[in-house]
Structure 1
Amino acid sequence: MDIQLDKAPCGYFSISDSGIILTVNQTLLDMLLYERHELLGRHIESVMSVTNKLFFHTYFYPYIQMHGHVNEMYFSLRTNSQQDLPVLLNGIRQQRDGETVIDCVAVVMRKRIEHERDILHSKTKLEELYQATNEANHKLEALHEEYEVKQQELLRINLQLETMASTDPLTGLHNRRFFQVSLLALLLSFRETEKPFSLLIIDIDHFKRINDTFGHPAGDAVLVHLARLLESMASDTDIVARFGGEEFVVILPGTDEDTALLTAERYRSAIANSPCGEHNITVSIGASTVRRGDTDETLLHHADTALYASKSSGRNRVTHSNHLVPASD
């Protein structure tokens, strides 16, 4: 590593595709209070808390596998003295010397550190005030309440931001981003366990006609009605999301082809027999079941092709991609 990178004003490290630390610059070593030999060859999760390990698996790995890069992801690393160090993490996945590596840059969150110092300062003042005279007790209680309010507000804001990032605002279902992350996670699990899962794409038949005839508020009401119906029928492990427009997707973990068809038909029948006010809606469904070698793109493509077959065959029906006749040359 050249000296410019080693002394750069930000932390740098590279890891293998499996998470083993390959290189690390001196700046990051100073930030984490480690010697170089203490980190090289170790797994990156060795400098993370349990919470951040889960976050790394849930968001960082799937996102960088899908997009090849991660920009400004808020994260915390754990120093050698077991202190959390909040950073903004940027990463890129690329090939180098015939191997896949992930290069990352970590920038310390200065404002967050200042905020934490303010909180620690308030806590120190509390401890001092507790030892003061009875005259100062009311000040202690006020400061303690302020401290607790700030902590709860911080938790509330973080939860709100996380919910907004993964929720469709109209229907309240998971959004396309959450669906894509979940799909990638299941694909990674399938490659290790070969436990099957299936995907449904559900499209409202003649939805444009509803919007054009009755207006977009009526169309929105139909979308919300369908979302509630899908949500009520889904199992605890199913992942129901709005894919976009009048399309919805359902991931069925642990579901093979036959069970996927039965589940899709149950959805189709229930929707056809559950009018939304004056509107009797039907849906066309395309299904696919994961196979060896599938990616998120191929799995979606197979389900989308099956959906097109359902539409072309008259709508209000279910088609599995495995039942389609391959196109002749």
Structure 2
Amino acid sequence: MTLISGSILSYSTSLPVIFLFMSASMLPLITKAFWMQEPQFNALGLLLVIAYLILSALIPRQNRLLVENIILRIENEHQPLTDPLTELGNRRRLYLLVETLLPSSLRRKDPFSVVMLDIDNFKLYNDKFGHSAGDDLLVTISEILRECSRDQDLVVRYGGEEFLLVLPSTGLDAAVILVERIRSAVKEKTPVTFSAGIATHREDLSFDQLVEKA
């Protein structure tokens, strides 16, 4: 009885490992086989697909979800946390911060605010001066945002010409003061203006809803 239960345990725990190996090694082979556009390679690709589906069907649902989570975590660990042009945080870094900031803010009843900045008429600027000049402008704006914000603030390039600031322990009035400081610096160092929206977190709002309000 012990031998049988041990065999079952070994079977159930080894299959996810096999499936993880299959996901990492077979899927690229399947893609390549079909891409070759040769009958023998297409047949090989079909056999690999069948083997993959059979193995995935044998794995208990909870183990399959575990493997999928492992694969997702591996993929996430290889994704960058910064925007390559501006070297600001990107959306992935933003949501990693939110995972800890939101519960902490609710627990301590400590407000935080978000500021959404959007460069006005950026497309026209690009069309007039070229994309290289547009990139230089984005870098300059990024440097201004870093200079004006505090160490605990997170500055993120949210979209093409959109920037998001997450301001821990900051109410609406303090966020407005920061935006005006940024506006003065942008006016002094660049030929452009920007539009800004501010929202302060409430318990009934998710983070995405807060960003929409900003």
Superposition TM-score tier, normalisation by shorter sequence: 0.5 to 0.7
Change (3 A) 1:7 1:175: same
The code of the aligned residue for 1:8 comes to S
Superposed, 1:10-159 pairs within 5 Å as 10=14, 70-72=69-71
Asked if the contact 1:201–1:248 (Cα under 8 Å) also holds between the matched residues in 2, the reply is: yes
The code of the aligned residue for 1:72 comes to I
Q: 1:290 aligns with which of 185, 198, 201?
A: 201
Asked if the contact 1:202–1:283 (Cα under 8 Å) also holds between the matched residues in 2, the reply is: yes
> Moved runs in structure 1, 4+ residues, more than 6 A?
none
Q: CA deviation at 1:72?
A: 2.2
Q: 1:9 aligns with which of 13, 20, 33?
A: 13
Structure 1 residue aligned with 2:95: 180
Which of structures 1 and 2 has the larger relative contact order (alpha carbons within 8 angstroms, sep 6+)?
Answer: 2
Change (3 A) 1:252 1:72: same
Q: CA deviation at 1:11?
A: 9.3
Structure 1 residue aligned with 2:211: 300
Instruction: State the percentage of identical aligned residues.
Output: 37
What is the rounded CA distance, in whole Å, between the counterparts of 2:14 and 2:166 in structure 1?
Answer: 40
What is the rounded CA distance, in whole Å, between the counterparts of 1:11 and 1:287 in structure 2?
Answer: 50
Q: Show structure 1 runs of 5+ residues with no match.
A: 13-68, 75-87, 90-160, 304-329
Change (3 A) 1:227 1:11: farther
Asked if the contact 2:148–2:178 (Cα under 8 Å) also holds between the matched residues in 1, the reply is: no
The code of the aligned residue for 1:182 comes to L
Q: CA deviation at 1:179?
A: 1.1
Structure 1 residue aligned with 2:184: 269
The code of the aligned residue for 1:165 comes to P
Asked if the contact 1:268–1:285 (Cα under 8 Å) also holds between the matched residues in 2, the reply is: no
Q: Which has the higher helix share?
A: 2
What is the rounded CA distance, in whole Å, between the counterparts of 1:233 and 1:258 in structure 2?
Answer: 16
Q: Show structure 2 runs of 5+ residues with no match.
A: 17-67
Asked if the contact 1:272–1:283 (Cα under 8 Å) also holds between the matched residues in 2, the reply is: no
Q: Which has the higher strand share?
A: 1
The code of the aligned residue for 1:202 comes to L
Asked if the contact 2:91–2:157 (Cα under 8 Å) also holds between the matched residues in 1, the reply is: yes
Asked if the contact 1:200–1:250 (Cα under 8 Å) also holds between the matched residues in 2, the reply is: yes
Structure 2 residue aligned with 1:320: none
The code of the aligned residue for 2:195 comes to S
